[in-house]
Amino acid sequence: MTTLSWAEPYKIKMVELIKMTSREDRLRAIREAGYNTFLLRSEDVYIDLLTDSGVGAMSDRQWAGIMMGDEAYAGSRNFYHLRDTVEEYYSYKYTVPCHQGRGAENILSQLLISPGDYVPGNMYFTTTRLHQELAGATFVDVIIDEAHDAESEHPFKGNVDFDKLDALLDEVGAEKIPYICIATCVNMAGGQPISLENLKRLRRWCDEHGIMFVHDMTRVAENAYFIQRRENGYQNKTIREIVYEICALSDAATMSSKKDAMVNIGGFLAMNDARFYERACALVVVYEGLHTYGGMAGRDMEALAIGITESVQDDHIHARVGQVLYLGRKIRAADIPIVNPIGGHAVFLNATKMLPHIPQEHFPAQALSAALYVESGVRSMERGIVSAGRDKATGKNHRPKLELVRLTIPRRVYTQAHMDVTANAVEEVVKRRDEIKGLRFTYEPEMLRFFQARFEQID
Ligand SMILES: *Cc1c(COP(=O)(O)O)cnc(C)c1O
Our mutation pick for probing the ligand 1 site, out of 102, 192, 409, 451, counting the most ligand atoms within 8 A of Cβ, is 102
Ligand 1: residue of 38, 50, 52, 53 to mutate (most ligand atoms within 8 A of CB) is 53
Instruction: Say whether the peptide bond before residue 359 is cis (omega within 30 degrees of 0).
Output: no
* Ranges 2-16, 83-97, 370-384, 440-454: which has the least confidence: 2-16
- How many Cα atoms sit within 13 Å of 34 on the Cβ side? 14
Which atom of ligand 1 approaches the CA of 257 most closely?
7
For 104: left if phi > 0, alpha if psi spans -120 to 50, otherwise beta; the answer is alpha
Task: Specify whether the CB–CB gap between 183 and 161 falls below 8 A.
Answer: no
Which residues are 445's β-sheet partners?
Answer: none
Which helix (H) or strand (E) is 220 found in, with range?
helix 220-230
**Burial (0-12, 13-18, 19+ Cβ within 10 Å), 421:** middle
The pLDDT > 70 percentage for the chain reads 99
Residues facing residue 390 across a β-bridge:
397
Residue 412 has pLDDT above 70, yes or no: yes
**What residues are paired with 405 via a beta bridge?**
349, 382
Domains of the chain (ranges; CATH) run 23-52+314-457 (3.90.1150.10), 60-311 (3.40.640.10)
With contact defined as beta carbons under 8 Å apart, do 351 and 362 qualify? no
Query: 424 with 404: CB under 8 angstroms?
Result: no
CA distances in angstroms from 67 to 63, 260, 305, 449, 450, listed in the order given: 7, 22, 14, 38, 36
DSSP conformational letter for 58: P
The predicted model scores a pTM of 0.95
Q: Which of 240, 259, 379, 449 is catalytic?
A: 259
Q: Atom 10 in ligand 1: which residue has the minimum CA distance?
A: 101
Q: What is the pLDDT of residues 102-140, one digit of tens each?
A: 999 999 999 999 999 999 999 999 999 999 999 999 999
Q: How far apart are CA 18 and CA 337, in angstroms?
A: 29
Query: What's the one-letter identity of residue 169?
Result: L
- Give the model's confidence band at 291: pLDDT under 50 very low, under 70 low, under 90 confident, else very high: very high
213 with 50: CB under 8 angstroms? no
Predicted confidence band at 2 (pLDDT cuts at 50, 70, 90)? Answer: very low
What SS3 state is found at 315?
Answer: helix
162 is catalytic: no
Express each pLDDT in 359-408 by its tens digit. 999 999 999 999 999 999 999 999 999 999 999 899 999 999 999 999 99
In degrees, rounded to 5, the angle at the alpha carbon of residue 353 between the alpha carbons of residues 349 and 357 is 120
Residue 187 beta carbon below 6 angstroms from any ligand 1 atom:
yes
Which residues partner with 383 through β-bridges? Answer: 404
Q: What is the pLDDT of residue 392?
A: 87
Report the pLDDT averaged over residues 168-180: 98
- Is the pLDDT score of 194 beyond 80? yes
Q: Work out the average pLDDT over 5-27.
A: 95
Is the beta carbon of 343 within 6 A of some atom in ligand 1?
A: no
Query: Average pLDDT over the chain, rounded to whole?
Result: 97
Among the listed residues 320, 330, 444, 450, the one whose alpha carbon sits nearest the alpha carbon of residue 385: 450
| Residue pair 193/154 in contact by the 8 Å Cβ criterion | no
257 lines ligand 1 (CB under 6 A): no
Ligand 1 neighbour 183 (Cβ under 6 A): yes
Peptide bond into 341 cis (omega under 30): yes
Ligand 1 and 258: CB distance under 6 A:
yes
Query: 227 and 196 in contact (C-beta within 8 Å)?
Result: yes
Q: Enumerate the β-bridge partners of residue 270.
A: 95, 253
Statement: residue 172 has pLDDT above 70? yes
Q: What number is the average pLDDT over the span 415-439?
A: 97
Burial of 41 (0-12, 13-18, 19+ CB in 10 A): exposed
- Widest pairwise Cα distance in the chain: 61
Q: Give the residue among 141, 134, 212 at the shortest CA–CA distance from 177.
A: 212
Q: Cα separation of 366 and 385, whole Å? A: 9
125 is annotated as an active-site residue: yes
Query: Whose Cα sits closest to atom 3 in ligand 1?
Result: 101
